[in-house]
Chain A
Amino acid sequence: MAMRALVGCKRVIDYAVKVRVKPDKTGVVIDGVKHSMNPFDEIAVEEAVRMKEKKLVSEIVAVSCGPAQCQETLRTAMAMGADKAIHVEIPAKEFELVQPIHIAKILAKLATDVKADVVILGKQAIDDDCNQTAQMTAAFLDWPQAVFAAKIEKDGDSLAVTREIDGGTETIKVNVPAVISADLRLNEPRYATLPNIMKAKKKPMEKKTAKDLGVDLTPRIQVISVEDPPVREAGQKVDDVDQLITKLKGLGRI
């Protein structure tokens, strides 16, 4: 079993950055803010690389959709072990309104084009937290899906995937081709070191547009307002139980 893997890597605001909302409430500040690969996508890339090390996968193609800077994200993926990359260029302005459905269509088309046997994606991105792309990609391809993967093993000609579910895990068998989404505990992603980043510069990167792939990016949503979460109100100290009960009664809670 030597499969070709397609992995998605979204470029998002770095997890350690404190996100600020623009004063006009149209979005968040992205200019001059550190960006990096979505941590769940790092897990997806790592899993593909480990599958390649186990000879389950023969080639890893990394994909990223978005503005030109996404190429840095793809370099990171290639430094981690992806063999080649496809950058689907979408201008920053247009990218603001791009949703999982658009990305899923792009990924489905690419998966068919590169003859991928397995598509591995992060379960969600830490910026919009949609958690839809893997599921929709599977639907567009009409492939089985194994989402929230915590463990992936070979099982004959299929894959046995252990999934994170409420209060435990579930192990399912999926035939390939399949779409898998990576959960936090799937693996520990390796660090993209400087020498590997340098080597990755020699790996091939293809540039495409959504139009080349025949995907219509017409926005399906309109951003009405982006706001900060409400600030937590300060607590109060009470001297004894009686006072607590009086206060709660005053607030109408009991």
Chain B
Amino acid sequence: MMSSELKLRVLSLYKNLLFMGRDYPKGYQYFRERCNTVFKKNKGVNDPKEIERLINHGEFVKKELQALYYLRKYRTLKRRYYADEDEMTKFRNLSNTIEKYERPD
């Protein structure tokens, strides 16, 4: 039997994950199915230490998701708004290199 404190933590982890799933790139439905499968797979776990370990793993997944969402957004914006900036840097490097070859002192 799971202690009520652990039960609450598992429940809140589940709710938090589902909430974050709304932003999942492959869609909420996809995320929800995966999330449910994992929780169901571990529903028979009774050892408090093992539950603790699984909750910690869930917290880790939350952090990973946050990092994934941030990076995805940052990269999209960078591509959309700063693409020519990268090109300009490359162009500058190229012209510097050419200059070096032309004046090898």
Contacts and interface: CB of A to CB of B under 8 A. Distances in A.
Q: Do A and B bind each other?
A: yes
Interface of A: 15-16, 39, 126, 167, 184, 188-189, 191, 193-195, 197
Contacts of B92: 167
> From DSSP, what is the main secondary structure of chain A's interface residues?
loop
B35 to A, nearest CB: 14
A189 B25 CA distance: 18
A72 B80 CA distance: 26
A188 B70 contact: yes
A190 to B, nearest CB: 8
B66 A184 contact: no
A16 B76 contact: yes
Given A15-B77, A191-B69, A191-B70, A184 B82 contact: yes
Given A16-B76, A39-B73, A193-B16, 12 more contacts: A15-B73, A15-B76, A15-B77, A126-B80, A167-B88, A184-B74, A188-B74, A189-B70, A191-B69, A191-B70, A193-B19, A194-B15
> From DSSP, what is the main secondary structure of chain B's interface residues?
helix
B19 A16 contact: no
A194 B70 contact: no
B66 A191 contact: yes
Interface in B58-94: 66, 69-70, 72-74, 76-78, 80-82, 88, 92
Contacts, number: 34
Contact of A194 (B16, B66, B82): B16
A126 B66 CA distance: 21
B25 A194 contact: no
23 contacts: A16-B25, A16-B76, A39-B73, A39-B77, A126-B77, A126-B80, A167-B88, A167-B92, A184-B74, A184-B77, A184-B78, A184-B81, A184-B82, A188-B74, A189-B70, A191-B20, A191-B70, A193-B16, A193-B19, A193-B20, A194-B16, A195-B12, A197-B19
Contacts of A188: 70, 74
Nearest to B25: A16
Contacts of A197: 19
Max chain A Cβ within 10 angstroms of own Cβ: one of B12, B15, B73: B73
Closest CB pairs A-B (n = 7)? A194-B19, A191-B66, A194-B16, A15-B76, A184-B77, A39-B73, A39-B77
Nearest to B66: A191
Contacts of B77: 15, 39, 126, 184
Contacts of A126: 77, 80
A226 to B, nearest CB: 18
A187 to B, nearest CB: 11
A184 B82 CA distance: 9
Contacts of B82: 184
B96 to A, nearest CB: 13
A145 B72 CA distance: 30
Contacts of B74: 184, 188
Nearest to A124: B81
Contact of A195 (B16, B69, B78): B16
A81 to B, nearest CB: 15
B73 to A, nearest CB: 6
A15 B88 CA distance: 25
